[in-house]
A and B are shown apart, each in its own frame.
Chain A
Amino acid sequence: MRLWLLLAIAIGSLGAPACRDQGAPAGCPSAQPAQPAIDEAVMAFLSAARALHHEADIRERGGDLDGAVASLRRLVAMPAPRAVEVQEVLADAHARLAELELLESDVEGATRDVEAGLLAVQGPSYFRGHLLEVEGRVEEARANGLADAGQREEAAKAKTRALALLEQAVHVQEQVIERALADGGEQ
């Protein structure tokens, strides 16, 4: 559900400012022929992303984790317009993919997705903090797997990485909260 909310906010934030500028006429988004084409491409991407998250939700609820992963793979493979909102949606999709892969004990797949997501978002943001949190959990799972396999030294290294990543996630989200409440959401 939170993914729906994020996408709704992203879509809303694109349309709303333009509506305010024009005195909010009825049917505002469609009444803006002069809007740059990039906005239309971004809106189309966000709409498709929302549909694919919905599809993944349905499949995940039905226990079809592979199907949910396939839906999200389609999302991250879509041609992506250059926009901050798009990068954030991609980062969030990679984080969700990594979480699903962790459920399937695919630690390597989860690692690849977290790394791809972190490439999409720079600087302290919720999305980066969330990816660091997921990466910490991935390293935690790796540590547990290595410990079970008797590789104590490697397990200890993975655990150290997990602790550092989870600590980073705490620090990033702390900054996100401070900034959000300090400037009233003007991020």
Chain B
Amino acid sequence: MSQRAEAIVTSTLAGAVIVLLHGCGGAQRAEAPPTSPSVQTTDTSPPSGVVTVPPATAAPPPPPTVPEDQALDRDRDGQRRAARADLEHAQQDLEAAAGACDAACRALASMERATAHLCSLAADPDDQRRCDDARQRLTSAQSRVRSACGACR
């Protein structure tokens, strides 16, 4: 994979994965059973080694209202959708970057061949000036492609 492609994907994927994980974790917490072992209060004879919470003396807090749950679900759905969109966008960027580097490398190879032939024909000072100009352009293009794509295959 090219450096350019890696840079694009790394930044976008990192954000997307964090959001996805956060969203999944939140969903699991929301679906946890209401009477988990650590908060069990009805069983008065626990097996040895199990820590239980003493029976509460006050009335339990009221369960969350339905509109709040729905709002949370909507929020998580939105985050998941956004994360999925980020992933798809990253994939498209990756494909575009790989295509761009293929195109750039192909053009660079042609540029190298043309420069080599041009310079092999240079006999007088004017020809040599044209050769030097082509070499300068080639060096600049090589540097540009290398920094964006790494080495061409």
Contact = CB atoms under 8 A, between A and B. Distances in A.
B93 interface: yes
Given A9-B102, A170-B115, A176-B103, A129 B141 contact: no
Contacts of A16: 95
Contacts of A41: none
A41 to B, nearest CB: 24
Contacts of B149: 181
Contact of B144 (A5, A6, A136, A177): A177
Contact of B107 (A6, A129, A159, A167): A129
Nearest to B147: A181
A186 interface: yes
A185 B103 contact: yes
Contact of A163 (B127, B141, B145): B127
A16 to B, nearest CB: 8
A167 B130 CA distance: 8
Residue of B106, B108, B134 with highest tally of chain A CB at under 10 A: B106
Nearest to A166: B118
Contacts of B111: 129, 169-170, 173-174, 177
Contacts of B20: none
A181 B115 contact: no
B108 A173 contact: yes
Interface in B94-153: 95-104, 106-108, 110-111, 113-115, 117-118, 121-122, 127, 130, 134, 137-138, 141, 144-145, 148-149
B121 A181 contact: no
B100 A180 contact: yes
Contacts of B134: 166-167, 170
A181 B145 contact: yes
B100 A185 contact: yes
B110 A162 contact: no
Interface string B38-79: 000000000000000000000000000000000000000000
A137 interface: yes
Given A9-B102, A176-B103, A181 B108 contact: no
11 contacts: A140-B117, A166-B114, A167-B114, A169-B114, A170-B111, A170-B115, A170-B134, A173-B108, A176-B103, A177-B141, A183-B100
Given A20-B92, A136-B118, 18 more contacts: A9-B99, A129-B110, A133-B117, A163-B118, A166-B115, A167-B114, A167-B130, A170-B115, A174-B107, A176-B103, A177-B145, A180-B104, A181-B144, A181-B145, A181-B148, A185-B99, A185-B101, A185-B103
